[in-house]
A = this chain, B = another copy of it.
Amino acid sequence: LVVVFGTAVAFAPAPRITWAHKEVGLVHFHEPGIFNYSTFLLSEHEDTLYVGAREAVFALNALYIAEKQHEVYWKVSEDKKAKCVEKGKSKQTECLNYIRVLQPLDANTLYVCGTNAFQPICDYLLKDSPAIASYHLTCALQFLLKLPNGELYSGTSYNFLGSEPIISRHSSQSPLRTEYAIPWLNEPSFVFVDVIRRHFSDTEVEDDKVYFFFMEVSVEYEFVFKLMIPRIARVCKGDQGGLRTLQKKWTSFLKARLICSKPDSNLVFNMLQDVFVLRGPWLKEPVFYAVFTPQLNNMGLSAVCAYNLSTVEEVFSRGKYMQSTMVEQSHTKWVRYNGAVPRPRPGACINSEARAANFTSSLNLPDKTLQFVKDHPLMDDSIMPYEGKPLLIKKDVNYTQIVVDRVQALDGTIYDVMFISTDKGALHKAISLENSMHIIEETQLFQDFAPVRALLLSSKKGKKFVYAGSNSGMIQGAVAFCGKHITCVDCVLARDPYCAWSPHVATCVALHQEPIPGRDLIQNMSGDVSACPDRVKESYWQHFFKHGGTAELRCSQKSNLAQVVWKFQNSVLNANNSTKYILVGRDNLLIFNLSKEDSGVYQCLSEETVNNKTVSQLLAKHVLEVKLILHTPAAPTLS
């Protein structure tokens, strides 16, 4: 038996630069005694960031979050808290009101929901003053989406009151919900919900669709123990439920599994952590970016997969269904359904074809179609990621959240910049370069290394920020730290589409901030530094040391992808296994037992290889002079 270990997997490289918490300018917000800053709502026209925390909602200046504009506290009533504690829940952590939903309603009103000690509650919050609680939900709310027409879409899972998991629409005209049945929802955890508007450009007048991203216990897969499976479910906004079958239930509820795996390396990412929808006028169709970790044998592994909306829609509109069958009287097995599918297609929105056949509403869909979708809500075809594999696989990290910004580099190339947070309070900024991943930088957002629970991007021109929340506080950071790159070579090697070198002011400038000084900016996303001007000024340090002493020569190198090379009189020094030289503090050189022969020029160079081309940069130059110092005789001492 020959076993091959350690098959080469193309893991993403280390972040090129690691910024310590204090190294970059981050704006902090934290209210003493308030925890769990996990729900964000950005009002771009007001430049206000609304933040939902535990028992509090804050309105902050979005341009400088340390500036609090308003605050509202929303505690659990004493009787509710008592009831919750009676049921065995923790008074300190569970029987509290965690704000989970913040949605704009109109110019003056926010819609706010909280967990309220397992009795979720929603409220209209008039900006500047809180209104009275006005809306009660009876389940453990996990996710909610409110549309401008007043419809409320929510995903809720089990709670101790014994209610079942449901995906529902709260609406005065047409409230709808899922069936209480394992094939519909099997112990789900909701991750994300969003509405995708119809395409007006199409000849077909399509319905708006609401997409739910969640994990649930798999019915189609089995291993030594319970397997979780990530899913997308979608419902049509125009759904009115059935007339007899599926009365007040979704007639358009379909779900499919999301695949994020690399079979040739035996990697399976089936724990969905977060989803971000990238959309904009420049995009043909929305793209779902999703962050995953593995359920099995996870020693710190994360992946990002991207899914095109059309891939998702293709599965729902043309894919095969799954069918459950009872085997040997007691086992339910799910397999591909190969039989005839009724018309109109079960689970489809009412489209022109249906209307042409006189089915103008879900209420008059034939019973056969409704019964079929009731029994077959699960698709057999899987939703495959863009290019069939993860965009990025990273070792030794657990990713928690993702936001994506679409940026145009100087040469016109478009980059989707991913900001991905970790469970250790850090943020990775990554782009795809020539089919390989480049993690531009890693920023330690939270000094206490707390997991990042929420991430938001403000991508307004000239006001681009990343907001992040953890249990202990929140921060606001720039999308790029261009100014930290002090040379042209540094600025170009960063391969950061936000940054370019301005020879005019000899500074690495942020392209998204106006005004950009001068023209002839230098940026090269493949890391070619040939356009950089030759460095004119070369400074050095002069040192004088005593014979027999020890010298420490300093050098600082930020790039994790570069190597430091020390040269003495233009020859490379070897500090390995040397009794003369030691590298300390990563890059500094210690020279022992100084003698006259050690006098001369020491240079610290960084060597970084990009696209098989090595760029060498002088980081520090030291001129050393060792002197034989004259001592005056001293009396011997006793010790």
Q: Which A residues fall within an 8 A CB radius of B?
A: 1, 3, 5-6, 142, 189-191, 220-225, 227, 259, 261, 263, 266-268, 270-271, 273, 293-301, 323, 325, 327-331, 333, 335-339, 395, 398, 400, 423, 451, 546, 548-550, 582, 584, 590, 592-593, 596, 599-600, 625-631, 633-634, 636-637, 639
Contact with A223, one of B223, B293, B395 (Cβ below 8 angstroms): B223
Q: Is the CB of B637 within 8 A of A259?
A: no
Task: Name the distance in Å between A14's Cβ and chain B's nearest Cβ.
Answer: 16
How far is A266 from B3 in the complex, measured between Cα atoms in Å? 24
A-B contacts, 18 of them at CB < 8 A, read: A1-B273, A3-B400, A3-B423, A220-B222, A222-B222, A223-B223, A224-B263, A225-B261, A267-B296, A268-B296, A297-B301, A299-B395, A333-B333, A546-B548, A549-B549, A550-B550, A550-B593, A628-B634
CB neighbours (8 Å) of A301 from chain B are 297, 299
User: By the criterion CB–CB under 8 Å, are A451 and B5 in contact?
Assistant: yes
Do B1 and A191 touch across chains, with their CB atoms under 8 A apart? yes
* B223 lies within 8 A of A398 (CB): no
From A259, A266, A339, A633, residue with most partner B Cβ within 10 Å: A266
Q: Are A273 and B3 in contact (CB under 8 A)?
A: yes
Residues on B with C-beta less than 8 A from A330 are: 335-336, 338
Q: Which residues of B contact A221 (CB under 8 A)?
A: 222-224
The minimal Cβ–Cβ distance linking A521 to chain B, given in whole angstroms, is: 41
| This protein's copies in its complex | 2
A1–B634 alpha-carbon span in the complex (Å): 74
Report the bound CA distance from A273 to B3 in whole Å: 8
Q: List 9 additional A-B contacts (Cβ < 8 Å) besides A329-B338, A330-B338, A333-B335.
A: A3-B400, A6-B423, A224-B259, A225-B261, A268-B296, A299-B395, A325-B327, A331-B333, A331-B336
Are B297 and A267 touching (Cβ within 8 A)? yes
- Give bound CA distance, A628 to B636, whole Å: 8
Does B398 lie within 8 Å of A5, measured CB to CB?
Answer: yes
Contact, CB under 8 Å: B639 / A625 = yes
CB nearest to A274 among chain B residues: B1
Query: How far, in angstroms, from A267 to B225 measured CA to CA in the complex?
Result: 10
Q: Which 10 A-B pairs have the closest CB atoms?
A: A331-B335, A294-B297, A631-B631, A333-B333, A5-B398, A225-B263, A297-B297, A5-B423, A599-B639, A296-B296
Closest residue on chain B to residue A453 by CB atoms: B2
Q: Find chain B residues with CB under 8 A from A225 CB.
A: 261, 263, 266, 268
Q: A77 to B381: give the CA distance in the assembly, Å.
A: 52
Contact B400 A266 (CB under 8 A): no
Q: A266-B297, A266-B298, A301-B297 are in contact. Are A593 and B333 (CB under 8 A)?
A: no
Q: Choose from B5, B259, B300, B630 the contact partner of A634 (Cβ within 8 Å).
A: B630
Shortest Cβ distance from A382 into B: residue: B224
Distance of A353 Cα from B608 Cα, bound (Å) = 77
CA distance A599 to B639 in the complex (A): 8
Q: Which of B296, B297, B631 contacts A630 (CB 8 A)?
A: B631
In angstroms, how far is the closest chain B Cβ from the Cβ of A524? 35
CA distance A596 to B635 in the complex (A): 13
A365 to chain B, nearest CB (A): 25
Residue numbers in B under 8 Å from A395 (CB-CB): 299
Nearest CB in chain B to that of A629: its residue:
B631
**Candidates B6, B296, B327; contact of A327 at CB < 8 Å:** B327
Minimum CB–CB distance from A140 to chain B (whole Å) comes to: 12
Residues of chain B lying within 8 A (CB to CB) of residue A227: 223
Chain B residue contacts of A331, Cβ below 8 A: 333, 335-336
Report how far A296 CA is from B400 CA in the complex, Å: 21
Shortest Cβ gap from A194 to chain B (Å): 15
Min CB–CB distance A399 → chain B (angstroms): 10
- Contact between A333 and B338, CB atoms less than 8 A apart: no
Complex contacts, A637 vs chain B, CB 8 Å: 596, 628
Q: Is the CB of A335 within 8 A of B328?
A: yes
Chain B residues near A335 (CB, 8 Å)? 327-328, 330-331, 333
**Cα separation A548 to B592 with both chains bound (whole Å):** 11
- Cα-based distance from A398 to B546 in the complex (angstroms): 52
CA A608 to CA B325, docked complex, whole Å? 60
The CA-CA distance from A423 to B1 in the complex, in Å, is 13
- Which chain B residue has the least Cβ–Cβ distance from A628? B634
A550–B592 contact, CB under 8 A? yes
Whole-angstrom CA separation of A1 from B400 in the bound complex: 10
A223 to B382 CA separation, bound complex (whole angstroms) = 12
Chain B residues near A550: list those with CB within 8 A: 549-550, 592-593
